[in-house]
Amino acid sequence: MYAVDEIGPERVFEVYDQKTGMHGVAVIDNTARGVGKGGIRMVPDLATAEVMGLARAMTWKNAMADIPFGGAKSGIRADPRKLSKEQKEAIVRAFARRLAEIIPKYYIAGPDMNMSEVEMGYVADELKNPMACTGKPAEMGGLPHELGSTAYGVALCTKTAIEFKGKSLSGMTVAIEGYGNVGTFSHKFFEEWGAKVVAVSDSRGAIYNEHGLKHAEIMKVKAEQGTVTAAHGAKVLDGKALFELPVDILVPGARPDVINAGNVNNIKAKYIAEAANLPAKYEIEQVLMKKGVVVLPDFVANAGGVISSYCETVNMNSEQMFRMVEQKLKANTKIMMERTGADNDTRKAAMGVARERVEEAMHYRGWK
User: In angstroms, rounded to a whole number, what is the distance separating the alpha carbons of residues 188 and 324?
Assistant: 19
Cα 205 from chain centre: 22
145: exposed, middle or buried (Cβ count in 10 Å: 0-12, 13-18, 19+): buried
For residues 33 and 145, the model is more confident at: 33
- The predicted pLDDT at position 143 comes to 86
- The predicted pLDDT at position 298 comes to 96
Quick check: 100 pLDDT over 90? yes
- The continuous run of DSSP H or E covering 42 comes out as strand 40-43
Catalytic residue list contains 270: no
Confidence grade of residue 2 (pLDDT, cut at 50, 70, 90)? confident
149-304+333-352, CATH topology level: Rossmann fold (3.40.50)
CB 147 within 8 A of CB 318: yes
User: Which among 107, 103, 102 is positioned nearest to 73, based on CA atoms?
Assistant: 107
Residue ranges per structural domain of the chain: 11-60+71-142, 149-304+333-352
What CA–CA distances, in Å, run from 19 to 94, 207, 222? 9, 47, 40
11-60+71-142 shares its CATH topology with 149-304+333-352: yes
- The predicted pLDDT at position 67 comes to 97
Task: Classify domain 11-60+71-142 by CATH architecture.
Answer: 3-Layer(aba) Sandwich (3.40)
Average of pLDDT values for 311-325?
95
User: In angstroms, rounded to a whole number, what is the distance separating the alpha carbons of residues 271 and 293?
Assistant: 6
Q: Annotated catalytic residue: which of 61, 73, 188, 270? A: 73
Quick check: 285 pLDDT over 90? yes
